[in-house]
Amino acid sequence: MPSAVSVSDEVRAAVAARRPVVALETTIITHGLPRPRNVSAARDAEALLREAGVVPATVGVVDGRPTVGLSAGEIDRLGAADDVHKIGTRDLPVAMAQGWSGGTTVSATAVLAHRAGVGVFATGGLGGVHRGAATTFDESADLVALAGVPILVVSAGVKSILDVGATLERLETLQVTVLGYRTTTFPGFYVRDSGFPIADRVGTPGEVAAVVRARDALGLRSAVLLANPVSEADELDDDLHRAVLDGALADAEAAGVRGKDTTPHLLDHLHRASEGRSLEVNLALYRANVALGGAVARELSALDDGREVRQ
Ligand code: PSU
Ligand code: MN
């Protein structure tokens, strides 16, 4: 029986040879970033990895085929299509049966990348517990996916549009290992510091790789989340951040936005209300996360080979 997941030859060969590979999601392209920056961000991320000697594995669904290692043409297509779906893990069976094309969220990307043997995944920001979740129950499936998929996810924390404290509590409950990259506070996506502490700090890609391999040695099935704060030079101005955030939340409430539309709606509002500033921050932190993911993937590959790597 053919596999349900199609894996590009390049990714398959790299995984088999234990060369470094980093998975990338596509909801960021289809629903997170405006055109045409969405496709250029996806291309830049792939180029950045290749320059570092890492194979990119962009994940998405094309005509009902979950794919790990989309071609440039497929990425262009997802980035330009109007009727493109946002596909979480629970949507995958429907997407396959009904021939959808769409961007995969962190949850679906983690599941598919792991299925293809890819151990590292870089994204912008993880989904989390939405504000008001005590009554709406709106909590991203990303969290539950991380509980059951042994992968490393690099993220700039979670967005301040979410309930950051509740998200951290859920990550603990779900047994997700959370590492702060050169920080002891959880990043707030657009800003370096969400105000919430993280217990465990790591200082180098090698230290991250050691935690990942210890997790594997134990046979734990949960993800390691590497929280990488946006650089000081790139973070959003504090006052602007507060102002546009309050506006975005009020706007979503007034518009009655619910369910899977919530995150794209809030992001779009932020990008417009900040006159593109939040978009630049989003792109900068995404590049930084991709680069860090590449560095950790190289360390993991070197550990597997028993050699040392020069970053
Ligand atoms: N973070 C971003 N941009 C995005 C997303 C997160 O910076 O586009 C996407 C991711 O794909 C994530 C999804 O998995 O939003 C979460 O959506 P929800 O809250 O509906 O689970
Ligand atoms: Mn939701």
How does the average pLDDT of the chain come out, rounded?
A: 95
Mean pLDDT of 41-67: 98
The answer for residues whose C-beta is within 8 angstroms of residue 172's C-beta and 6 or more apart is 178
Kindly report the pTM of this predicted structure: 0.96
Task: Quote the CA–CA distance of 99 and 84 in Å, as a whole number.
Answer: 11
Residue 160 has pLDDT above 70, yes or no: yes
Domains 1-118 and 123-306 are alike in CATH topology: yes
Residue 311's pLDDT is 61
Beta partners for residue 70, in sequence order:
none
Residues in the chain: 311
> Tell me: the pLDDT tens digits for 244-255?
988 999 999 899
**Ligand 2 centroid vs 138 CA: distance in angstroms?**
5
The single residue of 46, 74, 139, 159 carrying the catalytic annotation is 159
**Ligand 1 centroid vs 308 CA: distance in angstroms?**
35
86 part of the active site: no
> Tell me: the pLDDT tens digits for 7-38?
999 999 999 999 999 999 999 999 999 999 99
Identify the CATH number of the domain defined by range 1-118.
Answer: 3.40.1790.10
> Tell me: the pLDDT tens digits for 173-183?
999 999 999 99
> Tell me: the pLDDT tens digits for 242-290?
889 889 999 998 999 988 998 889 888 999 999 999 999 999 999 999 9
Residue 2 has pLDDT above 70, yes or no: no
Calculate what percentage of the chain has a pLDDT beyond 90: 86
Angle subtended by helix axes 141-148 and 106-115, to nearest 10 = 20
**Ligand 1 centroid vs 27 CA: distance in angstroms?**
7
Ligand whose nearest atom lies closest to the CA of 141: 1
159 part of the active site: yes
Identify the CATH number of the domain defined by range 123-306.
Answer: 3.40.1790.10
- pLDDT band of residue 85 (cuts 50, 70, 90) is very high
Domain ranges of the chain: 1-118, 123-306
Residue 310's pLDDT is 61
